[in-house]
Amino acid sequence: MSVVQQSFATYKENNTIEDGDLVVVYLARENMSIIRIKDGEYFNCKFGSYKHSDMIGLEYGTKLGSNTGRGFLYLLYPTPELWTQVLPHRTQILYIADISFVMNFLNLKPGMSMIESGTGSGSFSHSIARTIAPTGHLYTFEYHQERVNAAKKEFEEHGLSHMVTLQCRDVCKDGFNMENKVDAVFLDLPAPWEAVASAKKAFKQDKIGKICTFSPCIEQISRTVTALSDNGFVDIQMYECLIRFNEIRVIPMWTIEEAMEKQRAIEKKRKRALPRVLREPAAAADEQEEEEAKKIKIESADDSNVSSAIGTPSSTTGSEMDEGVQVKSETATPSVPSTPILSSETASPSTSSDPRERIDPKNVMVTRLPVEQRGHTSYLLFATFTPATQPPNLTQQNAAKKA
Ligand SMILES: C[S@@+](CC[C@H](N)C(=O)[O-])C[C@H]1O[C@@H](n2cnc3c(N)ncnc32)[C@H](O)[C@@H]1O
């Protein structure tokens, strides 16, 4: 067993995995789990079976291949950020965008004392503890007994219990029962306005402090603003923190000439595929050709959202990204990727008459927003606690000295 208890608030000096340690096993960004290393046990995943004993003695961060040769995983040190991604959800939790924003706006630093309620799944508690360590203290309140028990166990197992005091208490009804003690307060409660007056008493009365409440509905914000204002808090501000992911992709960027060549080839192929009766007499064939060409243009424009785009369902590979051909032009929207038929090394666009023949467009790197965006989580309301009696300013101090 590890001699020194692992802590989420610091890294281990030797950075080595020992029997009894927690390890975050990373297979992919969306596929991580946390395990406790125990000699004789196995970690099983789609890549095969990994012996815990093979992990003991390795450095955190090691990339470990499976004995089946089918894949690999990373063995990571458990940090608050990773814990937020792997923890068992007992409630809604705070994620890293809100966590980092709130910690910054509360000016959290090592050595600070802070109140948090409710504890919930302890997602935010872990980040707070790491930030105010080693000398700070977190007072966290939760009125649901089972959640209290689970969080208490986790704080102990994660080497945080010496700096976290967890109480089972309804803070809206019974308050925090703390006076002149903390630098910051964070409330993730359904009715935070009911805890504002008690939070005010808990602030160190001779220092400026910060409070933040986290509420999904604007009505909750409205009531909390009133409570904050009534209790003398100043500098009341509200924010919403939204994460916007961008995918980076490489797409082929066709020249106008290549695109026109491809269009001609597609039209030719379409014409060949028409029933004979429609191709003759010549006039009918011309008419049909015109119709087809129009149809292709409309389909392509709809698909690709690119003014000069071409391409039909029959010319694509079936990938979800196959949406016609990107053309280098003023009006092209490079953020819409396309995957036309993959190119071969040698074929030249100008000699090809078959749309399935391969041509070599240049590649270009673009970003685009994925279809699904994570939307609103909650509003963040911040306010400042100011001491009732301000410390004397320089003029007052000088006047006092002279007197
Ligand atoms: C959304 S969760 C908090 C999640 C937490 N911020 C996290 O990141 O894991 C809200 C918690 O507040 C607790 N709660 C609600 N009202 C409370 C009250 N009056 N006193 C104490 N806890 C309360 C709930 O039981 C719940 O666990």
Q: What is the pTM of this model?
A: 0.72
Average pLDDT over every residue of 53-81: 93
pLDDT recorded at residue 351? 44
Q: Which atom of ligand 1 is nearest to the CA of 172?
A: 19
pLDDT recorded at residue 66? 84
CA dist 97 and 94 (Å) reads 8
For domain 83-243+377-402, which CATH number applies: 2.40.10.120, 3.40.50.150, 3.10.20.600, 2.30.42.10? 3.40.50.150
Question: Pocket around ligand 1: residues whose beta carbon is below 6 Å from it?
Answer: 91-94, 117-118, 120-124, 141-144, 147, 170-172, 188-190
CA dist 106 and 373 (Å) reads 27
> What are 186-240's pLDDT values in tens digits?
999 999 999 999 999 999 999 999 999 999 999 999 999 999 999 999 999 999 9
Tell how far the Cα of 188 is from the centroid of ligand 1, in angstroms.
Answer: 6
Tell how far the Cα of 290 is from the centroid of ligand 1, in angstroms.
Answer: 66
> What are 315-336's pLDDT values in tens digits?
333 333 333 344 443 333 333 3
The boundaries of every CATH 3.10.330.20 domain in the chain are 22-78
pLDDT recorded at residue 276? 66
Output DSSP code: residue 6: P
Helix (H, G, I), strand (E, B) or coil at 345: coil
The boundaries of every CATH 3.40.50.150 domain in the chain are 83-243+377-402
Residue 174 annotated as binding site: no
Six-digit token string for 28? 């992919």
**Domain covering 22-78: architecture:** Roll (3.10)
Share of the chain above pLDDT 90, in %: 59
CB 64 within 8 A of CB 58: yes
Mean pLDDT lowest for which of 96-100, 216-220, 304-308?
304-308
> What are 161-179's pLDDT values in tens digits?
999 999 999 999 999 999 9
Q: How confident is the model at residue 258 (pLDDT cuts 50, 70, 90)?
A: confident
pLDDT recorded at residue 309? 32
- Reply yes or no: is the peptide bond before residue 281 cis, omega within 30 of 0: yes
CA dist 215 and 219 (Å) reads 9
pLDDT recorded at residue 398? 86
